[in-house]
Amino acid sequence: MVNTKVTLSGWELDNPIIPASGTFGYGAEFAELYDINCLGSFSFKGTTLEPRFGNPTPRIAECASGMLNAVGLQNPGVEHVLHHELPHLKAIFHKKVIANISGFSIEEYVECCRLMDEQEQIGLIEVNVSCPNVHGGGMAFGVCPENAAAVTKAVKAVVKQKPVYIKLSPNVTDIVAVARACEDAGADGLSLINTLLGMRISLKTKKPILANQMGGFSGPAIFPVALRMVYQVAQAVHIPLIGMGGVSTAEDVLEMMLAGATAVQIGAQNLVDPYVCPTIINQLPSVMAKYGIDSLTNIIGGAWK
């Protein structure tokens, strides 16, 4: 009998499979397809202090082995999530959930995280530092170690009950430097990677397909990049990692854990196959047995330890 349980900062999950933020909404749509309680947890839609309509359309473009999105953090705002989404979620999901938080200033991050820290349903807070800093010329917080550390430190000053994981952007020169800065500033863990920056141009219009011109590239094509970054960061820090980026099979999950991830998020593949997460969960025991793995916790970082 294999053991699929993993532990994130003292929080035990039945398995390491977590749908990624932005690909699973707040759970309701997928709950109509299968019992989402089979999941280890899920990271809900990126939530900001105020409601956001998001970017103009078109904001999705297809690519070989992936997709581009420039949704622009469309969400109903933190108060709506607290008073409507979480109560509804409680009826369909009986485990704790990951609160994904975005912000356009340190003050926004702090207030949203403070509110989420008070919620019993939240298992950990995942802070997305890929957002543009409106007070810093629009540059994303996560591309600069000092800015990523500043967000981490400010959030940790107000969050007293929940672990804080910082979600890192791959659009940097040295992701290890950003990871170390977040750890030094008090992060309890890290999530990586977010989407890569990409674009498509229409041959018919001779213009960018996305109204935003550029967007986040995700899907199976980015898996080797994500794996490499998890592998590098895992050896440089002493806090747990949630790995993601192009994961679509049980074998991918094992690779990501061997690279150093404690849990694994599934993103774009949810939009291709809405049953991908329960499929992977069902297949994990047999794939583990195939490769002589009796416990997932035993293989974390096994590729370099």
pLDDT tens sequence across 256-292: 999 999 999 999 999 999 999 999 999 999 999 999 9
Domains of the chain: 6-54+72-201+216-299 (3.20.20.70)
Residue pair 36/55 in contact by the 8 Å Cβ criterion? no
- How far apart CA 215 and CA 211 sit, in angstroms, is 9
* Separation CA 84–CA 235 (nearest Å): 41
Q: Catalytic residue at 112?
A: no
Contact 184, 153 (CB under 8 A): no
Q: Which of 113, 131, 144, 182 is catalytic?
A: 131
Q: How many helices (H) and strands (E) does the chain have?
A: 10, 13
Alpha-carbon 124 to chain mean position: 12
Q: What pTM does this model have?
A: 0.97
What does the pLDDT look like over 208-236, one tens digit per residue?
999 999 999 999 999 999 999 999 999 99
In Å, how far from its chain's centre is CA 157? Answer: 22
Cβ atoms 42, 14 nearer than 8 A: no
- Per-residue model confidence as pLDDT tens for the chain (305 residues): 899 999 999 999 999 999 999 999 999 999 999 999 999 999 999 999 999 998 999 999 999 999 999 999 999 999 999 999 999 999 999 999 999 999 999 999 999 999 999 999 999 999 999 876 656 655 689 999 999 999 999 999 999 999 999 999 999 999 999 999 999 999 999 999 999 999 999 999 999 999 999 999 999 999 999 999 999 999 999 999 999 999 999 999 999 999 999 999 999 999 999 999 999 999 999 999 999 999 999 999 999 99
Tell me, what amino acid is at 173?
A: T
